[in-house]
Amino acid sequence: MKKLTYLIAVVIASVLTACSDFLETPVKSTLEESVIFSTPDLARGAVDGIKVPFGETNSYRGRFLPWYGLNTDVEWFNASQTPGDNADLAVYNAKPINANMNTENNAWAQMYAGIERANLCIRGLRRYGNPTPDSELGVLLGEALTLRAVYYADLLKAWGDVPARFEPISLETIYLPKTSRDVIYKQLIADLG
């Protein structure tokens, strides 16, 4: 009986230690940046991801486009008859207590999320792809640069001078001061030129 117990323990120990190679297989659900941005179909998925913040609830779809800029020569919103957070946005009076803008996923945060996604794609396409003007990767690079310019144009229209992020965020660049809108526009024109 003692030998049988010892034999079973040895078999179990050898089976469990023999599985270490099996348990350390590479993850199939992740890809290296070099693979993503050197393959047009995979790069297309990354560039399409830049557009996601446009559709988020507190971004363009739910807050920025419907309420920002309603008091113009073309449209008018009577904030005195329907007071509230949306009315404050419509008359350019977003207070610090505005419930629509003081969320972690507000229009500002969503626009910078789109810019970060664009920066990652631009860096990846330039580093790992061969984005010539006539290639599919070149078209994707142009799309990423254009989408980043759209986000910045709306940020500058709504908030004036904002932090300029033209590279993906790193520990050194997590907190940036405001940059003159002229500097940002010059960079965007150079990117799109």
Cβ count within 10 A of residue 165 = 19
The C-alpha atoms of residue 183 and residue 27 are separated, in whole angstroms, by 42
Residue 187 has pLDDT above 70, yes or no: yes
Domains present along the chain, CATH in parentheses = 2-56+105-192 (1.25.40.890), 60-104 (no CATH)
Q: Which two tokens stand for residue 153?
A: 């144009």
Q: How far apart are CA 66 and CA 87, in angstroms?
A: 11
Could you count the other beta carbons within 10 Å of the beta carbon of residue 114?
26
Supply the pTM of this predicted model.
0.78
pLDDT in tens, 155-181: 998 889 999 999 999 999 899 999 999
Going by C-alpha positions, the residue among 58, 90, 56, 87 that lies closest to residue 72 is: 90
Tell me the residue type at 186: K
The pLDDT score that the predictor gives to residue 161 is 95
| Residue among 59, 52, 154, 51 nearest 100 (CA) | 59
Nearest to 168 by CA among 179, 176, 178: 176
Structure tokens at 126: 């330039």
Residue 107 CA to residue 117 CA, distance in Å, equals 15
Residue 183 one-letter amino acid = V
Burial (CB < 10 A; 0-12, 13-18, 19+), residue 152, is buried
pLDDT tens-digit series, residues 130-147:
899 889 999 999 999 999
Band of pLDDT at residue 30, cut at 50, 70 and 90? confident
Query: DSSP character for 23?
Result: H
